[in-house]
Chain A
Amino acid sequence: MLRYILRRILVLIPTVLAISLITFIIIQLPPGDYLTTVQASLAAAGDRPLDAAELARLNERYGLNDPWYIQYWKWISGIIFHGDFGDSFSYGRPVSDLVQERLPLTVTLSVLTLLFIWAISFPIGVYSALRQYSAGDYVFTFVGYLGLAVPNFLIALVLMWIGLTYFGQSVGGLFSPEYRDAPWSLAKFGDALAHLWIPVVIWGTAGTAGNIRILRANLLDEIRKPYVTAARARGIPSRRMTVKYPVRAAVNPFFSTIGWILPGLIAADAITSQVLNLNTTGPLLLNALMAQDMYLAGSVLLISAILVVIGTLISDLALAWLDPRVRFRY
């Protein structure tokens, strides 16, 4: 098992490097660079554009005149050898600081969302499979599709409206105004929870619907397998048999989802974060891409890629722990 983990980590390194290279190239692909964006925004605001000397100085400072592979090398070698992700052009601050401000909230939200998805989809999925085509199955299927189909930011707006009109709650952001600068206390924690449920529910709906469908389909497959009939023919009581045999074999996809739920939230749901005014990495990435702030954008994408790979490793290890067929293959 140790060898297996070691080997997986070894495979991880070239994967992450390849991802970083590709993301860097893609960020560089559109014409222009950070400075042309600055020029354009100055012109749009009616200000005097930067003169040639100023431009040359900035180009020199940011290294924008170098070919892309030199720029890439500067960036990636800084990360590998000094842990330095470079500075953000537009914020004028180290990328690591910017990310650090946002990462804890992002990770907290991701984990809470994952737990929410599991807690809701597991019982519903099992119910839907065991009572296939019952009224309850149809209701859950309908609600699930609704969650999948409605865009997240729309649900966000609806939930905010409900929170404001019916609960008189300050919505948006992580804290109510009175706690925003207060030191941590039990009350502040409670306030944070009161705000957190909205993004968790929003992000959870889509994942829950997907998971219910997967669990239902898997369990429907499993309960028709010969070992289930054989277990019944041995006189194992029905409920115990269901949980111990087919359900356990059907939960594998729950663990495979870890791999993509964790990083998915970091990059993909910028719009909902924007709507909810949440200080996650999503909006940061969006702005950085629009401004061609390449070190910031590249670093956020790199971190998200690392999370993908680590998430996949965790889910693979969880699978190996859960399923002897996976375990003994290695």
Chain B
Amino acid sequence: MNNVITPTLSPDRSGVGTDGPTPLLRIRGLETHFDTADGVVKAVDGVDLTVRPGTTMCLVGESGCGKSATARSILQVVESPGRIAGGEILWSPHGKDLVDLAKLDGESEQLRQIRGGDIGMVFQEPMASLSPLYTVGAQLMEVIRLHQDVTEDEARERAVGLLERVGIPNAAARLGSYPFQLSGGMCQRVMIAIALSCNPALLIADEPTTALDVTTQARILDLLRELQAEFGMAILFITHDLGVVAEIADEVTVMYLGKSVEQAPVDELFRAPKHPYTRALLQSIPDGRPNRQGQPLPTVAGMVPSPRNRPTGCTFRTRCSSAMPGICDQEVPPASMFGNDHLARCHLYSHEDATAIPEPTVAVTSRLEVTERTNPTPDEEAATLLEVRGLTKHYPLGGGMFRRSTGTVHAVDGVDLVIREGETLGLVGESGCGKTTLGRCIAGLLGPTSGEILFHRDPGHAVDLASLSSRQLKGLRTQIRTIFQDPFSSLNPRMTVEQIVGEPLQVNKLARGSELRDRVADMLRRVGIRPEYMRRYPHAFSGGERQRLNIARALITQPRLVIADEPVSALDVSIRAQILNLLDEIREEFNLTYLFISHDLSVVEHVSDRVAVMYLGKVAEQARTSDLYDRPLHPYTETLLDSIPVPDPQRRNRERERTRTDDLPDPANPPAGCLFHTRCPHVQERKCASDVPELRLLGTDHRAACHFAEELQLTGMSRSDPSE
């Protein structure tokens, strides 16, 4: 292990690194409680946090750990019925007196001046954080005039300047736009402009990029970095994504169940994490390290317990593989210091009996020995299971009685695709690129406008799904099944688990009565849900468990092809790793073929044999996973890959390729020539804006639709050094 420093015990040192410059914000022992009908929920239960002027502090942890409640407590904008129950929030901006924000009255003038004036805040859902009833200009100018004594004209001038500064093209005209007329990325830029309008000393960013596409996320992170260099404000950045942490943080605080468990400078945290929870989080990221592809992801066992059932002693002990009975369940671990500015709260470093175990290990879910794929890279010869030819799906815009249709959205526009028996084909692209529509057409949930979907039922016998009637399709629906994205809304809340999972068997008359119940029980056991829970309703399950139910429902008819539409996007990192491992296990067990749709390129890399990249309804590039990630041939793939936050703080200053704008062109009015030329960093005058590039075969099983694929030297995914 690197740099083992004998930890010094300092139970009462709640702030870390007090030797540096005066902290701007110092939170000590913060407790934020929610009074509910079932008792008090301690969402934040003793958090310590220090933010220094001009630096970025990242607050990480899974959902339900109290990150947002901590951030909102600072400005006392915790949602009702939350309240600050204890602790201090010491705020000492340069040149002003120290104030304890926790002691101020929530409606006081002093706090009101600080909100938006000294501390700006940016939220997770940019579109929902702006009122749809006012123009962005009105909302921006309102804040400017609230905190500064300027005339309306001066405010407008500043507003235009701010919008230009945050990278909104044609800023003066944009002042008159309503939030719903802008894309999510543009709205987040507006939110940043509002937060920065009064030159705050601290910017609180609560998951500001979580709801955005990866390309937009990268551009927003770039913008925040630039703005910090220019305005010199400190940033408190809340995220669950360790890749983002590595990109932007100076210091990191890891939260678990309402407590801060580790605090360290970002390099040190990634190089030498101390707390078992931090280590587990770091290892459960699918980061594409070459030796890990196709291997099961290490996961944090179980899930975050509800704050109502907070474990005694160390709160993490129920999921910790190094938990020491008699110690961890008895005493709350004190803070141990490693050097000057690295703090962790774990008995492994403080308890006298624990010195024997210096290195916490990470739990890996129990699993069969099968770690090698039976069919690691299906070659060209593998039988074709599904073939899509010239598939299009158009939606008319408008139309109706006395109304003309105003255009057509080309959701899917001439897609050719081959899925081979036993492989996993990844389908990636930004939101709005048509990947979900394509998946639904293949699943028979949407009728395509034109094209063929040939499903090879038996060798040498193919049926065209596109030409079948819905009655004929019904039988095939047991062969092609879908796992939906949102585990919360895709299960009928009024049906029991038995009814939900058994429904496909029942409607297709495949089983009934006790046989049906037995098969449901088997399936549930297989996906890791106890069959005793069959009579329960979906609300009794967590997000990860619901996704297991979704998987059980998809697999109960023993399908051959499973379309997994963003199956892990709504889940936390550790739960995501559990579900990905499950999908991989059952693939081998049931001999499945997957079409894996996702916007998350690292997940796709982890699970896929081959990958197709979609842009505006067309396939931009298609290749074997390693070829595509190492040697992309389409500039769009390159920018996507380069936008992935790399979980390695050493590499944040690399050269980057970025799209030239956040905004996808209007799919009802796609650009002429190459669809990507409006955003392409390598766009060339000749050809790109006029000629439509064909999807060409450029290498072994490697196709790309770019005029200059041979000439461009594109860089692949930025990887951590395999020798680490």
Residues of chain A having any CB pair with chain B under 8 Å:
7, 10-11, 224-227, 229-238, 245, 248-249, 323-325, 328
**Contact flags B114-130 to A (C-beta < 8 A → 1, else 0):** 11110011011100111
Contact of A324 among B77, B116, B133, B143 (CB under 8 A): B133
Chain B residue numbers with a CB within 8 Å of A225 are 128
B133 and A238 form a contact (CB under 8 A): no
- With the chains together, A323 CA to B179 CA distance in Å? 13
Chain A residue numbers with a CB within 8 Å of B107 are 238
Given contacts A235-B117, A328-B178, 8 further A-B contacts (CB under 8 A): A7-B402, A226-B125, A227-B128, A229-B77, A231-B131, A323-B133, A328-B180, A328-B181
Given A230-B191, A232-B77, A235-B143, also A324-B115 (CB < 8 A): no
Does B194 touch A at the CB level, under 8 Å? yes
- With the chains together, A11 CA to B114 CA distance in Å? 54
Given A224-B79, A235-B115, A238-B107, also A249-B131 (CB < 8 A): yes
Contact of B112 among A7, A227, A235, A323 (CB under 8 A): A235
Contact of A325 among B112, B116, B132, B147 (CB under 8 A): B132
- With the chains together, A328 CA to B358 CA distance in Å? 63
Pick from B72, B77, B117, B125 the residue with the most CB of A within 10 Å: B77
Does B401 touch A at the CB level, under 8 Å? yes
Q: How far is the CB of B453 from chain A (nearest CB, A)?
A: 34
Given A233-B116, A324-B178, A325-B180, also A226-B194 (CB < 8 A): no
- What does DSSP make chain A's interface, helix, strand, loop or mixed? helix
A-B contact pairs, 6 of them (CB 8 A): A227-B130, A230-B121, A234-B120, A235-B115, A235-B117, A323-B133
B72 and A229 form a contact (CB under 8 A): yes
B131 and A233 form a contact (CB under 8 A): no
B117 and A248 form a contact (CB under 8 A): no
- With the chains together, A235 CA to B403 CA distance in Å? 45
Does B355 touch A at the CB level, under 8 Å? no
Does B142 touch A at the CB level, under 8 Å? yes
Q: Which residue of B lies closest to A225 (CB)?
A: B128
Contact of A227 among B113, B116, B129, B147 (CB under 8 A): B129
Q: How far is the CB of A9 from chain B (nearest CB, A)?
A: 10
B133 and A233 form a contact (CB under 8 A): no
Given A227-B131, A238-B107, A324-B178, also A233-B79 (CB < 8 A): no
Does B332 touch A at the CB level, under 8 Å? no
Chain A residue numbers with a CB within 8 Å of B354 are none
Does B84 touch A at the CB level, under 8 Å? no
Does B575 touch A at the CB level, under 8 Å? no
A235 and B128 form a contact (CB under 8 A): no
Given A230-B121, A232-B115, A236-B146, also A10-B402 (CB < 8 A): yes
Chain B residue numbers with a CB within 8 Å of A230 are 121, 123, 129-130, 191
Chain B residue numbers with a CB within 8 Å of A231 are 131
A234 and B178 form a contact (CB under 8 A): no
Q: Which residue of A lies closest to B197 (CB)?
A: A234
B133 and A235 form a contact (CB under 8 A): no
Q: How far is the CB of B718 from chain A (nearest CB, A)?
A: 33
Given A226-B125, A227-B130, A229-B123, also A11-B77 (CB < 8 A): no
- With the chains together, A82 CA to B75 CA distance in Å? 70
Chain A residue numbers with a CB within 8 Å of B114 are 235
Q: How far is the CB of B166 from chain A (nearest CB, A)?
A: 16
Residues of chain B having any CB pair with chain A under 8 Å:
72, 75, 77, 79, 107, 112-117, 120-121, 123-125, 128-133, 142-143, 146-147, 178, 180-181, 191, 194, 401-403
B79 and A249 form a contact (CB under 8 A): no
Q: How far is the CB of A67 from chain B (nearest CB, A)?
A: 31
Chain B residue numbers with a CB within 8 Å of A237 are 112
Chain A residue numbers with a CB within 8 Å of B123 are 226, 229-230
- With the chains together, A324 CA to B180 CA distance in Å? 9
10 closest Cβ pairs, A-B complex: A235-B116, A235-B115, A234-B116, A230-B129, A233-B121, A226-B128, A226-B129, A227-B131, A235-B112, A7-B402
- With the chains together, A227 CA to B187 CA distance in Å? 12
A233 and B128 form a contact (CB under 8 A): no
Given A229-B72, A230-B121, also A7-B403 (CB < 8 A): yes
- With the chains together, A249 CA to B178 CA distance in Å? 14
- With the chains together, A233 CA to B121 CA distance in Å? 7
- With the chains together, A126 CA to B181 CA distance in Å? 29
Chain B residue numbers with a CB within 8 Å of A323 are 132-133
B402 and A234 form a contact (CB under 8 A): no
Given A224-B79, A325-B180, also A248-B133 (CB < 8 A): yes
- With the chains together, A230 CA to B72 CA distance in Å? 10
Pick from A231, A245, A248, A249 the residue with the most CB of B within 10 Å: A231
B147 and A235 form a contact (CB under 8 A): yes
Q: How far is the CB of B174 from chain A (nearest CB, A)?
A: 15
Q: Which residue of A lies closest to B78 (CB)?
A: A229
- With the chains together, A225 CA to B722 CA distance in Å? 45
A11 and B401 form a contact (CB under 8 A): yes
- With the chains together, A265 CA to B142 CA distance in Å? 43
Q: Which residue of A lies closest to B135 (CB)?
A: A324
Q: How far is the CB of A13 from chain B (nearest CB, A)?
A: 10
Chain B residue numbers with a CB within 8 Å of A328 are 178, 180-181
- With the chains together, A237 CA to B117 CA distance in Å? 13
- With the chains together, A223 CA to B584 CA distance in Å? 43
Q: How far is the CB of B389 from chain A (nearest CB, A)?
A: 37
Q: How far is the CB of B198 from chain A (nearest CB, A)?
A: 9
Q: How far is the CB of B93 from chain A (nearest CB, A)?
A: 15
Pick from A226, A236, A325 the residue with the most CB of B within 10 Å: A226
Q: Which residue of A lies closest to B132 (CB)?
A: A325
Chain B residue numbers with a CB within 8 Å of A229 are 72, 77, 79, 123, 129
- With the chains together, A11 CA to B133 CA distance in Å? 28
Given A324-B133, A325-B132, A325-B178, also A234-B194 (CB < 8 A): yes
Chain A residue numbers with a CB within 8 Å of B72 are 229
Q: How far is the CB of A216 from chain B (nearest CB, A)?
A: 15
Chain A residue numbers with a CB within 8 Å of B75 are 232-233
- With the chains together, A11 CA to B130 CA distance in Å? 35
Chain A residue numbers with a CB within 8 Å of B143 are 234-236
Chain B residue numbers with a CB within 8 Å of A235 are 112-117, 143, 146-147
Chain B residue numbers with a CB within 8 Å of A232 are 75, 77, 115
Pick from A7, A232, A237, A245 the residue with the most CB of B within 10 Å: A232
Q: How far is the CB of A35 from chain B (nearest CB, A)?
A: 42
Pick from B107, B133, B180, B403 the residue with the most CB of A within 10 Å: B133
Q: How far is the CB of A8 from chain B (nearest CB, A)?
A: 9
Chain B residue numbers with a CB within 8 Å of A233 are 75, 77, 115-116, 121
Chain A residue numbers with a CB within 8 Å of B125 are 226
Q: How far is the CB of A250 from chain B (nearest CB, A)?
A: 11
- With the chains together, A319 CA to B384 CA distance in Å? 55
Q: How far is the CB of A140 from chain B (nearest CB, A)?
A: 20
- With the chains together, A11 CA to B403 CA distance in Å? 10
Q: How far is the CB of B78 from chain A (nearest CB, A)?
A: 9
- With the chains together, A226 CA to B129 CA distance in Å? 5
Chain A residue numbers with a CB within 8 Å of B194 are 234
Pick from B121, B131, B132, B181 the residue with the most CB of A within 10 Å: B131
Chain A residue numbers with a CB within 8 Å of B79 are 224, 229
- With the chains together, A227 CA to B133 CA distance in Å? 11
Chain A residue numbers with a CB within 8 Å of B124 are 226
Chain B residue numbers with a CB within 8 Å of A227 are 128-132
- With the chains together, A232 CA to B79 CA distance in Å? 11
Chain B residue numbers with a CB within 8 Å of A248 are 133
Q: Which residue of A lies closest to B198 (CB)?
A: A235
- With the chains together, A17 CA to B146 CA distance in Å? 55
Q: How far is the CB of B359 from chain A (nearest CB, A)?
A: 42
- With the chains together, A224 CA to B77 CA distance in Å? 11
- With the chains together, A105 CA to B487 CA distance in Å? 57
- With the chains together, A238 CA to B124 CA distance in Å? 22
Q: How far is the CB of B588 from chain A (nearest CB, A)?
A: 43
- With the chains together, A170 CA to B262 CA distance in Å? 81
Chain B residue numbers with a CB within 8 Å of A10 are 402
- With the chains together, A325 CA to B130 CA distance in Å? 13
Q: How far is the CB of A235 from chain B (nearest CB, A)?
A: 4
